[in-house]
Amino acid sequence: MSTAAIISLGLSAASTAAGIAGQLQQQQARQQADAAAGAQAVYQSQVAFQNQELMKRRADDAFQQGRTAAESSRRRTQQRVGAQTARLVAQGTDLEGSPTDILGDTAAVGEVDALTLRAGAAREAYGHQVAAVGYGNTGFLETARALNTTHSPNYLGAGASLLSGASTLAERWRNFQQNNGRGL
């Protein structure tokens, strides 16, 4: 058996081992990067779902504020109508005809004000609801991204290096055997 042949076989085996080790290191680095990306995606998902909840609460609050503002406006209108009625009665005015129209107009304007307040609050609440949906969608996308980055290890690169190196080593060993150990 020649020394050169043995050294050549040894170098082939070492080269194969180094290739496998390199592939495994690359896989480990990919897994670490995937884990970091997955952790970031989980965090972003949690933030998005918290923001979604916040927007839902803001929408509920806007609706409630709109109801409260409309009720307050209606009470003020009732007070105005009551004050106008009292003045008209104190003046001795008959509450038929034009004075009734004045009271009706005051009530109508008050109702328009109440409805305007409520509509404004509904628009504000709708904006918060739309934002909540957007945050929810972001949360789901980030969750999916997190799940996609935490997949099983892929050792195909290391396996390919092993097969390639083993094939080369086997071919050299066969040549060595055919030459009765005299060289490759």
CB atoms within 10 A of CB 174: 11
Quickly list H helices, the chain. 3-90, 98-149, 156-178
Q: What is the pLDDT of residues 46-105, one digit of tens each?
A: 999 999 999 999 999 999 999 999 999 999 999 999 999 999 889 888 878 888 888 899
Six-digit token string for 109: 């304007």
When pLDDT is averaged across residues 120-132 and rounded to a whole number, the result is 93
Classify residue 95 by its DSSP letter: S
CA-nearest of 162, 177, 173 to 19 is 162
Q: How far is Cα 95 from Cα 102, in angstroms, rounded to an integer?
A: 10
Residue 12: pLDDT band (50, 70, 90) is confident
Q: By the 8 A CB rule, do 12 and 165 touch?
A: yes
| Percent with pLDDT over 70 in the chain | 84
Q: By the 8 A CB rule, do 136 and 55 touch?
A: no
Residue 39 in this model has a pLDDT that exceeds 90: no
